[in-house]
Structure 1
Amino acid sequence: MRKNLPVVGWRELVHLPELGLHALPAKIDTGARTSSLHATVIDEYERDGEQYVRFAVDFSEQQVRQVCEAVHVDWRGITSSNGKTQRRRIVKTPLKIGSVEFRAEISLADRSDMKFPMLIGRSSLRRRFVVDSGHSWLQTSGRKPVEGHIP
């Protein structure tokens, strides 16, 4: 194990700056390989020889819809927590957790029945963070770290 990696809790506020998404509540899930974002796909198109996807991220509590565009890099079979495999679009975009920013592969999925609009999987965490599942908000500025478990 490498020393001196930043520690994340089981939930953090994360940022997807190129998508215009900031302070997005995310569950840290080492059981999931790929990170996932709640999104509704609107359109697919090509620009300068690259495939793009336009999608909406809805924040129902605030009654806000953020329309985002990202390079569509792949289709993958993703096995969800219920054991079913879905074919999902994968986009690659900068992800910022605390002061660490990196390009992450993120699947677009219907997470409307989930508590968190984003899930951070182990591919994004590997060699960047250590997870302390007994705490929350360890990399979230402006939030006091909380000890405890999932409500």
Structure 2
Amino acid sequence: MKTFDQLSVIGLREWINLPELGIIGLRAKIDTGASTSSLHASDIQPFQRDGEDWVRFTAYLGTQVQRRHRCEAPLVSVKRIKSSNGQAQSRYVIRTHLALGDLLWPVEFTLACRKTMRYRVLLGSKALITGQLVVNPALSYVQEKPSLSSALPGAQ
């Protein structure tokens, strides 16, 4: 059996932060069958800032108590995604830093309505590859919750 010492182990569910969006303490479901990660969003509005494409949206925190958080991020692209129920739809794609445990790296997220889903975030295989993570599906919440100060380089 091969082992990979340089890879961090995560469980099927983990706590994450999205510090550039001001989102802290979000439960994420790991989905190795999805290529791109997905973030629950509504009220999605594309706009221009200094000649660049951006998107403004409402993110939702928590599952029992819904807290809304208004976010803005540069728009990376618009992708045609086939959802788990087989329907294709166009989704806005953003890139933002993700904090999981003591790691921090940029991840692309599609913005999608996930209000009927238990988890507001899915982490897809591209995020796992870039973060050099392996999944043990028998475990959950292996990594410590990212600290409130999981800041970006140069931030306090």
TM range (shorter): 0.7 to 0.9
Root-mean-square deviation (Å) = 1.6
| Equivalent residue runs for 1:128-143 within 5 Å | 128-141=132-145
- Look up the SS of the partner of 2:85 in the other structure: coil
CA contact (8 A) 2:16 2:145 kept: no
Describe the shift of the 1:10–1:63 C-alpha distance in structure 2 as closer, same or farther (beyond 3 A).
Answer: closer
Query: In 2, distance between residues paired with 1:111 and 1:102?
Result: 23
Q: How high is the TM-score relative to the length of structure 1?
A: 0.88
Q: Is structure 2 residue 18 aligned with structure 1 residue 16?
A: yes
Which residue of the partner structure matches residue 102 of structure 2? 99
How far does residue 2 in structure 1 lie from its aligned partner after superposition?
A: 4.1
TM-score scaled by length of structure 2: 0.85
Q: Helix, strand or coil for the counterpart of 1:116? A: coil
Structure 1: stretches of 5+ with no match in the other structure:
143-151
How much has 1:61 moved relative to structure 2?
A: 2.9
Q: Check whether the contact 1:89–1:107 (CA below 8 A) recurs between aligned residues.
A: yes
Task: Tell whether the 8 Å contact from 1:41 to 1:53 is kept in structure 2 after alignment.
Answer: no
Give 4+ residue runs of structure 1 displaced > 4 Å after superposition.
none
Distance apart, 1:86 and its partner CA: 1.2
1:54-103: CA deviation from partner (whole Å, max 9, x where unpaired): 10013463242100000111000111111221110000111111111111
Structure 2 unmatched runs, 5+: 147-156
Identity %: 42
Within the alignment, does 1:34 sit opposite 2:4 as a pair? no
Match of 1:6 in 2: 8
Please tell me whether the aligned partners of residues 78 and 91 of structure 2 are also in contact (alpha carbons under 8 angstroms). Answer: yes
Matched residue type, 1:37 = L
In the alignment, which of 93, 115, 132 is matched to residue 112 of structure 1? 115
The 5 A counterparts of 1:81-92 are 81-92=84-95
Code of the aligned partner of 2:134: V
Amino acid of the residue matched to residue 29 of structure 1? D
Deviation at 1:114, TM superposition (A): 0.5
TM-superposed CA distance for 1:49, in Å, is 1.9
- Partner of 1:126, secondary structure, is helix
